[in-house]
Chains A and B, each alone.
Chain A
Amino acid sequence: MSDEYKFLYSSFITHHSSLLFMVIKIPILKVGRVLIVPIQVDMDDATVLQLQDSILNELERTGARGVLIDISLLEMVDSFIGRMLSDIAAMARIMDARTVVVGMQPAVAITLVELGLELGGVDTVLNVDEGIKLLRGEFVLDGDDAANANEGFSFSGESFHRS
């Protein structure tokens, strides 16, 4: 099994709030030349900003060419989170990387449109599989990378899906 998952926990974000004694960790996983960011918690604003920083730092450190942000567990995207997604996409583009947001819940999509957010510059696809395909189509990966990315999406498809 572990062979199948050539996963590298390249970084963890740790947000300490002394007021609530709360620690929020959002992993950034590097698979091939793609950073996978599964957001699985309700983020407060500080965590959102910290995540943005961490993704950009990881892009620089790893030279990844794609960022896949899985928001399938996010029950709400307000203008603050929407702006973060647009900003990450814009900054990543400047660093020569493409950003894809995957798994948006239908209720979240409806609300975003009514709110008037367009998520400028962000590609959105239904699931992690489609996200990886899109990112792979975007740049030519060498053999190793392509293999890693393939394994990456079978892993993510199983693990991140809600039952």
Chain B
Amino acid sequence: MPTKGLASVESRSIALERETDIAVARNEVRAAAVRMGFSIVDQTRLTTVASELARNIIKYAVRGRVIIGMVQDASRRGLRLIFEDNGPGIANTELAMRDGFTTGGGLGKGLPGSRRLVDDFKLESTPDIGTRVTVVRWLIS
């Protein structure tokens, strides 16, 4: 059983500007998940989501950031990751969420796959303004 479940995580922002920042984001997200007492499977889910969404930013928007923070509602706590960029945006967000759809030559698993790995998933995008993906995984206590 997790014994560190009561540890809190301060909100922090990590710049995503070069390919090696993807690994930095992964490590920071895992560290936050460990501190909050997430199970090993949830740690892996969150780390994988961080990797997918951070790579999207590097690949499509060139630069952006991820904000890692704790959220809380009446009965539970969760880890929230906000990925935002000022890149080209996504013209058709519905299509982008479809399995196998890609404009970048990838597998088309990044967005739809990430949605399956978290509890809450929100994609907001405006062409030529940018994209924000907000995900939350809740801690089951």
Contacts and interface: CB of A to CB of B under 8 A. Distances in A.
B20 A78 contact: no
B7 interface: no
Given A45-B22, A116-B99, A111 B44 contact: yes
Contacts of A90: none
Interface string A22-42: 100000000000000000001
Contact of A110 (B20, B30, B44): B44
A75 B18 CA distance: 22
Given A45-B55, A80-B51, A114-B116, A20 B20 contact: yes
A106 B42 CA distance: 12
A99 B73 CA distance: 47
Given A42-B23, A76-B44, A107-B44, A114 B51 contact: no
A75 B109 contact: no
Interface string B107-124: 101101110110000000
Residue among B26, B51, B112 with the highest chain A CB neighbour number at 10 A? B51
> Main SS of chain B's interface residues?
helix
B20 A17 contact: yes
Interface in B11-44: 18-20, 22-23, 26-27, 30, 40-41, 43-44
Nearest to A46: B19
Contacts of A114: 45, 113, 116-117
15 contacts: A19-B20, A42-B26, A43-B23, A44-B19, A45-B55, A46-B19, A76-B44, A78-B52, A79-B52, A107-B40, A107-B41, A110-B45, A111-B41, A115-B48, A117-B109
List the 7 shortest-distance A-B pairs measured between CB atoms, nearest first. Answer: A115-B113, A107-B44, A78-B51, A107-B41, A79-B109, A76-B47, A114-B116
